[in-house]
Amino acid sequence: MGIHQGIRRVALVCGLVSILAAAGASVAAAADYHVAQGGSGTACSLGSPCNLPTGVAQADTAGQGRVLMAAGTYNPSGGLNVTAGIDIGPEPGAATSTIHASSTSNVVNITSAGAVLHDVAITGSDVNTALRLLGGTAERISVTTTGGSAACSPEDGAILRDSVCWSNGSGSSASGIWVIPPGASSPSTGNVFNVTAIGGHSGIQLIADSAGQVMTINATNVIAQGGVSDVSTEPSGGGVTRLNLDHSNFSTTSGATITPPGTNGNQTAAPLFVDAPGGNFRENPASPTIDAGLVNPSLGALDADNHARVQPGCTGGLAKPDIGAYEASPPTSAPLCSLFTIGSLKLNKKRGTGQLGVSVPGAGQLTEGGKGLKPATASSSSAGDVVLKVKAKGKKLKALNRNGKVKLNLSLTWAPTGSSGSTQTDKVKLKKK
């Protein structure tokens, strides 16, 4: 080996060691901070947990890390402020914890774009907004407020998904989602996916009341239901509001610049819940919101109950998300698909045959039969279109050859894998030149 090659190799090795050392230092700095109800430790270790504000403060100071919550109800004095890109959620295997506060501005206030809050419940009374997101992500959160307080406020690029925001009260601010721009003139946008927003006033309420304020909410797969109106905007004083909804459920509106009900994939039929007065907003099996959502890259992987977010409504069917926080059809309880759609017949007049397109909902076998018809089958491994050949036989074939045309009555049976399926009939006409 030459001198220069040796020097270069040593330099590369030293550089690699430095990179690995820096990476190791970064990984080591991403500590876990264990907190417990009534925790009094200062190390925030598993053996000596601290209280929730102390754990969050230490993680904020480090700029990273996980705050792991033991099961219980936490009552941070003055609410909880999150200022760094940290992760807050339950200890592995722990039950959902609750964060509660009253007579304060916010129960939880997140101001970092990198922060993640997940799998907790938040309750509040006499607060401005229980969960305020000035950036960051909150997912699988259950937020309940009373006394006319707003539940959730996603702003400044924040993402709120797979969550319930319920303002169980009355008054002008009693909305599931209630937002007003945080600055005097800075535009602000909140992004909401698969949220069930319920309020005594509105499901979603948007306010911009000063010149230069622009407040936008983009909502996909959202249920919005309110006592005054399902969704409302209140621009005034030169402020601008934009409420963009797609594949969501709402029927009544108040204000301007709101996607009209029944357009853009939105539905107006009332959602059906298991027990709305009791706060159980899981879908009733007959709810129109089931399988009515849109697949979007920004959807969460899990629903509010930690079920897979995108599922088929029936075994073997096309996987689609529901509208709202919950996915109503876990695969273990979903029925087998049996519905199919008969398409058009493509004729081959030279041969006197045809090809019939049929849209099937999943894996299974389609069988074709009928008097004067040669039987045919087609199999499918997933939802999509299959093609059956239509060919006459016997007296029907002789009539076709003699007259150049013949009518046939078809019986089509779709059998999903593991089920007897269903049958439909159709009439077709074959032609031959």
For 75-114, the pLDDT digits (tens) are 998 899 999 999 999 999 999 999 999 999 999 999 999 9
Q: In terms of Cα–Cα distance, which of 405, 402, 399 is closest to 432?
A: 405
CB 199 within 8 A of CB 227: yes
Q: What are the residue boundaries of the structural domains of the chain, listed by start? A: 31-283, 341-431
CATH class belonging to 31-283: mainly beta
pLDDT in tens, 109-164: 999 999 999 999 999 999 999 999 999 999 999 999 999 999 999 999 999 999 99
User: Residue 209: beta bridge partners?
Assistant: none
Residues 6+ apart with CB under 8 A from 142: 96, 120, 121, 122, 163, 164, 304
CB within 8 Å of 2: residues ≥ 6 apart? none
- Alpha carbon separation from 220 to 267, 361, 389 (Å, rounded): 12, 25, 41
Give dist(CA 338, CA 365) in Å, integer: 11
Q: Reply yes or no on domain 341-431 having CATH 1.25.40.
A: no
Phi, psi of 56 (to 5 degrees): -65, -40
Asked if residue 245 has pLDDT above 50, the reply is yes
Per-residue tokens: 396:
């029907």
Q: Which residues, at least 6 apart from 417, have a Cβ–Cβ distance to it below 8 Å?
A: 316, 336, 362, 363, 364
Distance (Å, whole) CA 342 – CA 378:
13
Same fold, 31-283 and 341-431: no
Model-level pTM? 0.75
Q: Is residue 315 very low, low, confident or very high in pLDDT (cuts 50, 70, 90)?
A: low
Burial 296-314 (b: 16+ CB within 10 A, else e): eeebbebbbeebebbbbbb
Q: Which has more pLDDT, 409 or 3?
A: 409
